[in-house]
Amino acid sequence: MAEPAGPKTQLMGVVGAVGLALLGFIWRAWRPYDAVLGRVDGLKGYHDVSRHSDARRIPGLVLFRWDAPLFFANAETFHEHVLRAVAEAPTPTRWVVVAAEPVTDIDITAADELAALDQELHQAGIEICFAEMKGPVKDRLKRYGLFAKLGVENFFSTLGQAVDAYQDRHGIGLHDPKESRE
């Protein structure tokens, strides 16, 4: 019969487990999940089109969700993934709406990358907007001077409001009464 592990062995096991958990957390923050969103009949809200093949997308609109804080380690990836979502859109893109509720923080490096993305999209005739961004994240953008540059009119309380604004500005009559004017 084997002897039970001593306190030192147990401590090393706990430290190893914590270390692995921390590495997993860092990896997920560095390379977070993102999704293009669409409407699914019978489901409230907007859902990942890669998981719902029947999701409907609005012509010219890319709803993009980023599931992590934006910081120096993932800002360039965010930029690349937004551009990829635009390139893979089924119709020419006029607006990108970032579903920003999962974005809990943004650092100065990410703000600089966001400014570069805004400029690149603007040159292509595409407007970037944000929905569901938390107040503290908006406060950071204000401190960095980016909130006003992006335009206060490009921040929406809900995805439904952003979609309605897009449809109103572009004369698209696809309003969803379940999501509209929230």
Band the pLDDT of 172: cuts 50, 70, 90.
confident
pLDDT digits (tens, 9 = 90+) for 77-86: 999 999 999 9
Residues 48 and 78 in one domain: yes
Angle 34-40-45 from CA coordinates, rounded to 5°? 65
Q: Mean pLDDT for the chain?
A: 87
Residues 51 and 107 in one domain: yes
Q: What is the mean pLDDT of residues 67-74?
A: 94
Q: What is the mean pLDDT of residues 158-180?
A: 79
- Compute the distance between CA of residue 90 and CA of residue 49 in angstroms, rounded to an integer: 12
- Residue 62 exposed, middle or buried by CB count within 10 Å (0-12, 13-18, 19+): buried
Q: What domain range is 4 assigned to?
A: 1-30
In a domain, 181, yes or no: no
Residue 148: pLDDT over 50: yes
The two tokens of residue 127 are 């407007």
Residues 1 and 83 in one domain: no
Residue 173: pLDDT over 70: no
The CA–CA distances, whole Å, from 125 to 94, 95, 122, 146, 159 equal: 7, 9, 5, 19, 21
Q: What is the mean pLDDT of residues 157-179?
A: 81
Entry pTM: 0.82
Residues 16 and 48 in one domain: no
Q: How many domains does the chain fold into? A: 2
pLDDT at residue 177, as a whole number: 47
- Residue 21 exposed, middle or buried by CB count within 10 Å (0-12, 13-18, 19+): exposed
Judge contact between 79 and 66, C-beta under 8 A: no
In a domain, 111, yes or no: yes
pLDDT at residue 109, as a whole number: 95
pLDDT digits (tens, 9 = 90+) for 24-63: 555 555 568 999 999 999 999 999 999 999 999 999 999 9
Residues 59 and 82 in one domain: yes
Band the pLDDT of 123: cuts 50, 70, 90.
very high
Judge contact between 40 and 54, C-beta under 8 A: yes
pLDDT at residue 17, as a whole number: 60
- Compute the distance between CA of residue 63 and CA of residue 160 in angstroms, rounded to an integer: 11
Residues 56 and 5 in one domain: no
CATH number of the domain within which 60 lies: 3.30.750.24
In a domain, 177, yes or no: no
